[in-house]
A = this chain, B = another copy of it.
């Protein structure tokens, strides 16, 4: 199982080459991650406020194959790639919805961060179980 979200390219996402600026693909992936968590019933905010944990990215990688343009809808697909006690690695693919052309692929690795002492900590296992179950 994977999680997919459709995201319309906004005018402001484009640059003077008339394509989406590469940094915005990372933002599309984060939007997909936010929607994933919402679909499972929790948010970054609850992690912060209830669990006193944040989940910053420790690694981000993307390989760009073709550009998205204004007017495109891009589809982001997330999958769990690897999981440890403290980290979760998501692989992602983004394709253009209209013709399924692959635009980019990559991964994000998140880590549990204890907001009291700002040190690495275990990701909440019940939440990550739900994520893993939803994505595998």
Residues of A within 8 A of B (CB): 8, 10-12, 14-19, 21-24, 26-27, 30-31, 34-35, 43-45, 48, 54, 56-64, 67, 69-71
With beta carbons under 8 angstroms apart, the residue of B27, B57, B58, B71 that contacts A43 is: B71
Q: What is the oligomeric copy number?
A: 4
Cα-based distance from A56 to B19 in the complex (angstroms)? 10
Whether A62 contacts B64 in the complex (CB less than 8 A), given A23-B12, A27-B12, comes out as: no
Residues of B near A56 (CB, < 8 A) are 17, 19, 22, 64, 67
Cα-based distance from A64 to B16 in the complex (angstroms)? 19
Residues of B near A17 (CB, < 8 A) are 48, 54, 56
